[in-house]
Structures are given as C-alpha cells and as structure tokens.
Amino acid sequence: MNTLFDKIWDSHVVSAIDGGPQQLYIDRLYCHEVTSPQAFDGLRARGIGCLRPSKVVCIPDHNIPTHDQDKPIADPVSAAQVETLRRNASEFGLTYYGMMDPGNGIVHVVGPEKGLSLPGMTIVCGDSHTSTHGAVGAVAFGIGTSEVEMALASQCILQQKPKSMRISIGGRLGRGVTAKDMALFLMMKLSTSGATGYFVEYAGQAVSSLSMEGRLTLCNLSIEMGARGGFIAPDETTFEYLKGREYSPKGEDWDRAVEYWKTLRSGDDAVFDRELSFDASEISPMITYGTNPGMGMPIDGTIPSDASPKALAYMGLEAGRPLLGHKVDYVFLGACTNGRIEDFRAFASLVRGRRKADGVTAWLVPGSWAVKRQIEEEGLDRVLGEAGFEVRQPGCSACLAMNDDKIPEGKYAVSTSNRNFEGRQGPGSRTLLASPLTAAAAAVTGRVTDPRELL
C-alpha cells in the first residue's frame, strides 16, 4: 500500500523523465516580496503571462514594519520590494493582500486561516517554511526563484521525488510542553540533517492530539531537520479548523471534499523508506544554546560537553553549564512558527497577573490581521497590556533581520521563531529558540526560566 505522500505526489505527476525529475502539477503558489521579483521579470522577458492566476496568491510579509503600517515604509529597500510585489500582482492579475489589508499577514499563517491551503493539495512558495501548510494534509515545500517562474508560467515544476519517512510520537505531552518543544526535541535527536532527502509524515497519539495551530508549528519546523517537507494526515481536527473559512468549499462541495479528504491516509501496510518512533513522555520544555535549531536541550539540562566551540563562542556560553537563570534582553513572540492565536493565548495565560521584567524588550507580533482581531475579541490584548506588553502589527518581524525589528549585537533573545543562525535576528544577535510558554516565562522573570515553575 502506498503512503499518503505517494498518493498525493503521484496523483499530481503530469509526466516523468526516465531516471530524472518529474513534472509536478501545483495546486497553489504563494509569492512574497523577497523571492518573486526575478520570476516575474522572467515572464516579461519571455513575453508570457501567468497560466492560472486564480491559483496564485501574493502577500508581502518579510520586509513590512510591525508598527505604523498606515504610513510609507521608511527603509527604501523594503519599500521597493513591497511595491514591486504589488505592481507584479496587479500586472499579472493575481490575488494580492497588501500591507494594512485585513487579509494581510505572514503568508504561512494567512494560507491555512483563509482555507487557501487544503488537504490533498500540492503547495509551493519561494520560502523554505512552506512546509507549514503540510499541517492540513497537503504536500507543501519551498522552491527556488527559477521554480517560482516555472509555476507561474505553467502551473508545474520539475522535481525529484523525495523519499518518505514516518515519525511516530506516542503518548501525551506533559504539562508545559508544546508542539514547539516537540519539534526542537526531534531536531536535537535527529540533527539539522537527519531528515535530508525525505518528506516526513508525523503520526502517533501525541501528534493527533495537537490542535491545528500546534500541527502548523510542527510542520513549519520540518525543514530545520533537513526534510523537504512535513505533513499530517487530515482528520476531524483538520475538518473542524477548515470548515467555514473564506476559500474552503461550501455546502455540497464541502461534503464531497470531506469524503475525499477522509481517504487521505497511509494504509496500515504502507511502506516508508524510514520509520522512527518516540514517546512524548521523553519531551520537556526545550531551548537552544547554539547556532542551528538542532543545538537544543531540555530547559532544565546543561549545555552538552561536545557542543560546538565555535557556536558557544558566538553565543557567549560554556559547555557543561545550565541555561536556567541566564539573563535575557529581548523576547519575541511571533513568526510563521508561533504567531497564531493559540500562541498568544499561551503567552497571555502565563503573564496574567504578572509584570514584564525590567530591562526586557518584548515584541509580540501576530502572524496576521485576523490573529490580531481575535486577540482583541478575546480580550488578550488587555491581559497583555496590564502585564506591560504591547501587541504590534502583523509581519515576519524579528524572525529575520529584513525589517526594523532587529536584535542588537551581543543581546540575548528568547525567540519563538524558527532559526537561530549567526546574525539571523540581527548582526551579532544571540538567539535562544523556545516555545511561547518559555518566552513568556523569560519575559516576566528577565531570565531563562522553566515555564512549569510559573504555570
């Protein structure tokens, strides 16, 4: 029996080159402002248009500021990139959610919340964290600029079919342990190259028990294990999340879609190229100490004795020592990893009745305007405000140093984003990746703190 990955992939193959790549049909292409300009220039140079404009959605997110979005972007490079995407979308007749549009946000947050990403689809974007959309039961992965041009021109791309891997996590996550901790645990175990060449299906009780927001976080981080992408078979949680969303099927079309989506699963006798199993009871709240997401440890542990000396020198840390109690300068809640409503609920639940620590700068950035509206509807903005926090406007923010939200050199940031590379959050910045609960604990104590102590 084929795996679910085989079912979706093979049903989208248009043609194949013997011993070479396959021509894969793409159901949805997302474009943001960073990786798409050259692709559109390529279409112009060839004198052709976009084959299926209705399948393409354009959203600026990387370069936009998270404050004063009603004013022109001050940075000329960022302003030019955002304006270029707007102009390209207009010229080629594509759906565009620009800055201040109620539909704007981070592309990997907006896609699922609008029902643009659906089970059984093939989804691509010129962005590695496109794997996020796999949480709805889609085959979703990042592509390069030349492939963005291919998809615009033909609604197809050339791809080598990856191998398949299933990672099963049994049992239930403990108190204070989140999907982010699950992902950081897997990276600690497998390293940042442990899933290279594979498409990962996540399974097991701990995975099926996750909310859709948690699943989006887990799939988002698949790429950080080296995987081509990651996904979760659709189930009742998926259907409940997608029902009634703007682009989801309606009425009888919805009923037919769900009947089909229920068939999207790996058979009991499906054969994977590699299978791994873990128990959720092994997973604690996690935090990184180094300069890639695989350099992680339980928050109450010590930095490994074999940790990279180069990474530790950059981070200003020492092997064999704990991170608990280490001073924190910045806290960032947001990104396509943890910028959803559940993440803000978690953060607010821990800071309720407490105050932001003196000396900590906190950036709380929703992943979309829809998330920001829900924060306000649920009164979370008041809870956060009383604790000394401010909710900013949507955008990629401090996930990467492409907008105003940069961590200064030498400063430590507990961040809910996805990468802790050297300079990722700003030249010389020092990033400790963690969950929203761990970020909240750091924000109210000013130090790396086990969130279980405050729950």
Pick out the residues of the known binding site. 336, 396, 399
Beta partners for 331? 362, 414
Strand order in the sheet with 56-58: 95-96, 56-58, 28-31, 122-125, 139-142
Alpha-carbon span 345 to 42, nearest angstrom? 44
3-state secondary structure 341-387: HHHHHHHHHHHCCCCCCCCCEEEECCCEHHHHHHHHHCCHHHHHHHC
* Residues in contact with 278: Cβ distance below 8 Å, sequence separation at least 6, in sequence order: 167, 168, 169, 170, 185, 186, 189
DSSP state of 133: G
Alpha-carbon span 276 to 173, nearest angstrom? 18
DSSP state of 301: S
Neighbours of 327 (CB within 10 A): 13
Alpha-carbon span 180 to 161, nearest angstrom? 28
Helices 212-220, 179-190: axis angle to 10 degrees equals 30
Specify binding-site residues for [4Fe-4S] cluster.
Answer: 336, 396, 399
Alpha-carbon span 255 to 249, nearest angstrom? 8
Alpha-carbon span 232 to 297, nearest angstrom? 25
Torsion of CA 292, 128, 274, 416, to 10 degrees: 50
* Residues in contact with 63: Cβ distance below 8 Å, sequence separation at least 6, in sequence order: 33, 34, 73, 75, 77, 78, 79, 81, 82, 402, 403
Give the tokens for residue 446: 């000013």
